[in-house]
Amino acid sequence: MKKIPCVMMRGGTSRGAFLLAEHLPEDQTQRDKILMAIMGSGNDLEIDGIGGGNPLTSKVAIISR
């Protein structure tokens, strides 16, 4: 398992992972799998990732320089 640095931010009812693009794989399929794992997708309540019980309040941001 590879570590990927990220910042978790929360505001109001939403929360999200902010990641630098340079820390993610260039391959879109691999990147999407990683993002889905971070979010906890695969479980309706996202209990294996960011959590919160409602996928509408979970966000992800990919930042590039």
For 26, residues 6+ apart whose C-beta sits below 8 A from its C-beta are: none
Q: What are phi and psi of 17, to 5 degrees?
A: -100, 130
Q: For a pLDDT cut of 90, what percent of the chain falls above it?
A: 37
The rounded radius of gyration (Å) of the Cα atoms in the chain is 12
- What is the distance between the alpha carbons of residues 35 and 60, in angstroms, rounded to a whole number? 8
Q: What is the pLDDT of residues 12-26, one digit of tens each?
A: 878 889 999 999 999
Question: In the 8-state DSSP scheme, what is residue 56?
Answer: G
Does the pLDDT at position 43 exceed 90?
no
Greatest CA separation for the chain? 33
